[in-house]
Structure 1
C-alpha cells in the first residue's frame, strides 16, 4: 500500500526535523531538550511513542504486530491521510522556522528571544501541537485501527495537557504580553 510507505516516510521526516533542529541548537550552545525535568510524568510518554513508531513500521513492512486491529479500509481515506500527514509536516517545518532559536522540548525558561508571535505563531499559539495532531489524524486515516484510534485520542489529550501547562508557564514568564497575544491568536486554529 503506497499510502503506508508515504505515511511512514513523513513520520520519519517529522522525527528527523526535531533531531536536526535540536542538534543544530546544541551546536549553538542551546540545550533544546529539557523533557521530563520539571514533570517526571512526562517520562512515560517516550515508551508509548516508541511503541507507536513500531506499530507504524509493523503495519507498513508487515512485521509482527497486534492481530485484528483494522476497523475498516478506504482507499480514499488513506490518500486523505497522506494529504493530512504532508500538511502536518509542512506546518511543522514552518513552525520550526518560526521558532528561530526558541525551540525547546519541555518547559524551559527562555526569554532571550522574547515571545514568538510571528510566522506559524500568528495563526496558532500552539502550532507544533496542531501539526502533531494533524499527523496523528492522518496516520489514523492511513491505518484505521482501534489501536491508532486510542493513540489519536490519547495523543490529543496529552497535547492539550501540555498546552495548558505551557500556556501557564508562558503567562508567568511573559505576563501581560502573553495575555495580549492570547486575545489575538487562538489556542489551536
Structure 2
C-alpha cells in the first residue's frame, strides 16, 4: 500500500462514518417510525451501529492527527500547541467529568434519570459545550486541514444532537423535561 494515501484513506473512513451518523439521525428526526439516536435500548441495532460508526469516525481521526502532526520551528506553532493542549485538556476533561457525573449509560440513551443540577443547571448540554472547547484545542495541536474538517463535522454533530435527543427526553420525562427546557438554555 502506498503510505502517501493513508491520510486520505483515514479521512475517507472517518468522514463517511460521521456522515452516516448525521444522515441516520436526520432521518430519525424526520420519520415518525424510525429511531436512531437516542437508541431505543442498549441492545438495539441503533446503539450498536452508533458505537461502531462513532469508533470508525474517532479512531481514524486520532491516527490521522498523529500522522498530520507537524512541530515546525515557527515560534507561534509552539504557542498554538501549548494553547491547544490546554484547551483539549480542559474541554475533554470537563466533558468526561460531566458525562461520568450524569452517568455513562444515561449519556448513551438509557433512561437513568433527568439530571438538572450542577453543570446541567447552566446548560442543558454541557458535555457538548465542553467538547467544543476540546475540539478547538485538538485543531490547534493538529494544525491540519483534513483533521480540522473532521473536527468541524464533530462540532456540527454535537450542534444537532440536542435536536435529536430532546423529543426523546420529552417523551421519557414529560413535564419535568419541559419545565427544565424552559428554565435552562440549550448551550450557554
What TM-score, normalized to structure 2?
A: 0.64
Match of 2:46 among 15, 31, 37: 37
**Correspondence for 1:137:** 136
Cα distance in 2 for partners of 1:163, 1:122 equals 16
Cα distance in 1 for partners of 2:171, 2:106 equals 18
Higher helix share: 2
**Correspondence for 1:12:** none
Helix, strand or coil at the partner of 1:82: helix
- 1:162 Cα deviation from its structure 2 partner: 2.2
Please, what is the CA RMSD of the aligned residues?
A: 3.0
**Correspondence for 2:61:** 52
Cα distance in 2 for partners of 1:155, 1:145 equals 15
Match of 1:83 among 61, 80, 86: 86
Residue deviations 1:61-118 (CA, integer Å, cap 9, x gap):
99xxxxxxxxxx632222111111111133124303421475332x33x1xx531001
Helix, strand or coil at the partner of 1:103: helix
Which blocks of at least 5 consecutive residues in structure 2 are unaligned? 1-40
Aligned residues: 144
Which blocks of at least 5 consecutive residues in structure 1 are unaligned? 1-31, 63-72
Q: List structure 1 runs of 4+ shifted beyond 6 angstroms.
A: none
Query: 1:34 and 1:88, CA in 2 relative to 1: closer, same or farther beyond 3 A?
Result: farther
Query: 1:154 and 1:38, CA in 2 relative to 1: closer, same or farther beyond 3 A?
Result: same
Residue deviations 1:121-141 (CA, integer Å, cap 9, x gap):
122211222222222111001
Helix, strand or coil at the partner of 1:125: coil
Cα distance in 2 for partners of 1:154, 1:87 equals 21
What TM-score, normalized to structure 1?
A: 0.63
Contact 2:69–2:141 (CA under 8 A) maintained in structure 1? no
